[in-house]
Amino acid sequence: MDAARWKTIKELLANALDRPIAERAAFVQNASADAGLRAEVMDLLEAYETSGALRSLAADDREYELAPGAEVGPYRIRLPIGRGGGGEVYRARDTRLQRDVALKLLTQSSSHDEGTRRVREARAAAQLNHRGIAAIYDIVEVDSRAAIVMEYVSGDTLADRLRSRAPDPAVVIGVGVEMADAVAHAHAAGIAHCDLKPGNMRFAADGSLRILDFGLARRPASVSSCATEENPSTSAVSGLTASSLDGLALGTPGYMSPEQLLGQAIDCRTDVYSMGVVLYEMAAGRRPFLADGDNDMATAVAVLSTPLPDLPRDVPRKLRSVIVKCLGRLPEHRYRDGAELRDALTSIAAPSPWRLGWKA
């Protein structure tokens, strides 16, 4: 699809989205004599109405590398979903199995070794089998670049829901248990996510949480222990440094651990810190460390030097204690891994039907 046609589709999509749902189909049918173009816009509208992910796309003037209709192996691109530091994400159709998937086109590798590492780590992550982790289906190549094909989860992200309203403590605990349980499964396999944040967590149709982007998680060549002398049995990753990977800082500054920001060795406790930030944000309605303008460098300085702000008084004492421990500035002050955090959250309160009480 050429750029001019994609521009026309985006303009028609934006105009359709400005109309009431009941009027959109008729508007599209009357807006163009090109039946193929109308069909493509209707496909995008259907995707929007099931995932709510397209309004920002319609207003985004930057071009995505893959246009709707492009074919990547057996996968046909339906629409872009978003972009980030790791690459561009698309909703695509698996023409063999007739199911929708998420396809992440990774940014260009700076070296052959880097590209090889990315593929190796995606293969390792593909071995994870947990209902809380979006499955990795395939790795394909697009003009010498890797693309990771993953399970498509159509619901709201945790970030979407937090913009709507803050959850009550029972929901914080329920979401936290599912999050920590999924991450514990990865830690047991020697894999650290390194970029846990609300935007990488999405709710499936049944309300359960899925963690995305494990295809970009990190696993060094050897797996050892991140246990302390007092707790020698914990299996996790170690010896990995943030500064040694891709020549770039990994993660999102507001959710990164101090050691990650400093380029020091990281292990499963880095994920524990990030989960602590997510728990804090759910409980308080804001991240613990915010800088003026949300500038990345200023945020990093705040994480490294500002005392942890107090949580609101209505946060239960036991939940407050768990969150504070996750956010220990030194790794040895945190929970050892996702399993220990999960157990700590589970011990606070009996499971409750939290999914029924919190919608975006």
Contact call for residues 254 and 277 (beta carbons, < 8 A): yes
Strand spans (E) along the chain: 71-72, 75-84, 87-94, 99-106, 136-142, 145-151, 201-203, 209-211, 240-241, 265-266
Supply the DSSP string of 110-127, one letter for each residue: SSHHHHHHHHHHHHHHHT
Residue 321 and residue 315: Cα distance in Å, rounded?
A: 10
Residues 6+ apart with CB under 8 A from 58: 10, 13, 14, 17
Cα dihedral 87, 91, 93, 99, rounded to 10, equals 120
Residue 97 and residue 75: Cα distance in Å, rounded?
A: 10
CB atoms within 10 A of CB 116: 12
Enter the tokens of residue 11. 């303009």
Q: Annotated catalytic residue: which of 94, 156, 181, 195?
A: 195
Residue 73 and residue 94: Cα distance in Å, rounded?
A: 9
For this structure, is 160 an active site residue?
no
Q: Is 265 exposed, middle or buried (0-12, 13-18, 19+ CB in 10 A)?
A: middle
User: Residue 284: helix, strand or coil by DSSP?
Assistant: helix
Residue 314 and residue 182: Cα distance in Å, rounded?
A: 28
Q: Which long-range contacts (CB under 8 A, 24 or more apart) does 299-308 make?
A: 299/253, 299/254, 300/253, 300/256, 300/261, 303/253, 303/254, 303/256, 303/258, 303/261, 304/258, 304/261, 304/262
Enter the tokens of residue 317. 């004492």
Q: Are strands 87-94 and 99-106 parallel, antiparallel or unpaired?
A: antiparallel
The set of catalytic residues is 195
